[in-house]
Amino acid sequence: MSAAGLETAGLTVRYGGLVAVDQVSLTAPMGGITALIGPNGAGKTTCFNACTGLRRPAAGTVSLFGADVTVRAPHVRAQRGLGRTFQRIELFDSLTVRENVALGREALLAGSQPLNHLLRRRGDRQAVARAVDDALERSDLGSLSGRRVGALSTGQRRLVELARVIAGGFRFLLLDEPSSGLDSEETERFGSILCGLVADRGTGILLVEHDIGLVMRISAYLYVLDFGQLIFEGTAAEVAASPIVRAAYLGSEADALIGAG
């Protein structure tokens, strides 16, 4: 886990007079899962928005694969290999699973030139089909590929969202509460898919997640955010044992996590 993935240095985001993210510096390398955790309202999604270009930081830098992308547009970061999911599931309910997943690669091919989508070559169509097939297989969605997304359960829809970003072929993923709404079995399956993606492709992942059990199982390193500031960083064991993190976020849950480890 030495290759440069996503890094922020002194990242600061303001909404008027409110400082939502305050001097946040973190490193999420390729080939591993890094977690960003903390209470609701801590600034995690705002940090993601700055990393993807949806929000311009007031100060600090964002680097992707060793290159400064702080002032780059979202589509440029996507074309360079940065993909993202959102807290709120963003799918097209009237389309099938396969059609939704295909959009992950098609949008990347179109990029900032929509005409590219209309004039797509046969080779591009084949590349999309291969990417979709692989994403559906990885996400165990092959049997649902022809189903309309609006008829699926929350857990299945979360997998479709993940499959779509996998189909995009992104080298680094920002996943914002991807297991929200999943039961324990679905969450276990979801974690296995993420670990497989890292092992097979060397993908880098920065994960925002409130299921602390999942976070502790699959994350190599964690950053803890509270009121917009990083209050702790370390391995899962170090985070679970930290009095600072216990007081701000984990509480008595930390004892169960330490016992499970």
Q: Quick one: pLDDT at residue 121?
A: 60
Pairing of strands 67-68, 59-64: antiparallel
Domain's final residue, options 170, 201, 235: 170
The mean pLDDT value for 69-73 works out to 96
Mean pLDDT of the chain: 90
pLDDT at 124: 72
Domain boundary among 153, 170, 187: 170
Q: Which among 170, 191, 223 is the end of a domain? A: 170
pTM for this one? 0.89
Residue 93 has pLDDT above 50, yes or no: yes
> Confidence band (pLDDT; 50, 70, 90) for 254?
low
Cα radius of gyration rounded to whole Å, the chain: 18
Asked if residue 120 belongs to a domain, the reply is yes
Is 59 inside any structural domain? Answer: yes
Is there a single domain that holds both residue 149 and residue 109? yes
If asked whether residues 55 and 106 sit together in one domain, one would say: no
pLDDT at 69: 98
Residues 121-179 pLDDT 10s: 656 788 889 999 999 999 999 999 999 999 999 989 999 999 999 999 999 999 999 98
pLDDT tens-digit readout, 170-193: 999 999 999 888 888 989 999 999
| Confidence grade of residue 88 (pLDDT, cut at 50, 70, 90) | confident
One domain, residues 181 and 258:
yes
The total number of structural domains in the chain stands at: 2
Residues 73 and 10 in one domain: yes
Q: Is residue 111 part of a domain?
A: yes
| Same domain as 178, residue 71 | yes
Q: Do residue 116 and residue 74 come from a single domain?
A: no
| C-alpha–C-alpha distance, residues 108 and 165, integer Å | 10
Spatial CB neighbours of 148, under 8 Å, sequence gap ≥ 6: 93, 94, 95, 96
What residues are paired with 32 via a beta bridge?
204
Range of the domain at 210: 1-81+172-261
CATH number at residue 42: 3.40.50.300
Residue 86 lies in a domain: no
Q: Is the pLDDT of residue 259 over 80?
A: no
Answer yes or no: is pLDDT of 34 > 90: yes
pLDDT for residue 251: 72
Whether 43 has a pLDDT exceeding 60, the answer reads yes
Claim to verify: residue 236 and residue 221 sit in the same structural domain: yes
Residues 201 and 135 in one domain: no
Residue at 249 is within a domain: yes
For the chain, the DSSP string reads --S--EEEEEEEEEETTEEEEEEEEEEE-TTEEEEEE-STTSSHHHHHHHHHTSS--SEEEEEETTEE-TT--HHHHHHTTEEE--SS----TTSBHHHHHHHHHHHHHHTT-THHHHT--HHHHHHHHHHHHHHHHHTT-GGGTTSBGGGS-HHHHHHHHHHHHHHTT-SEEEEESTTTT--HHHHHHHHHHHHHHHHHH--EEEEE-S-HHHHHHH-SEEEEEETTEEEEEE-HHHHHH-HHHIIIIITTHHHHHHHH-
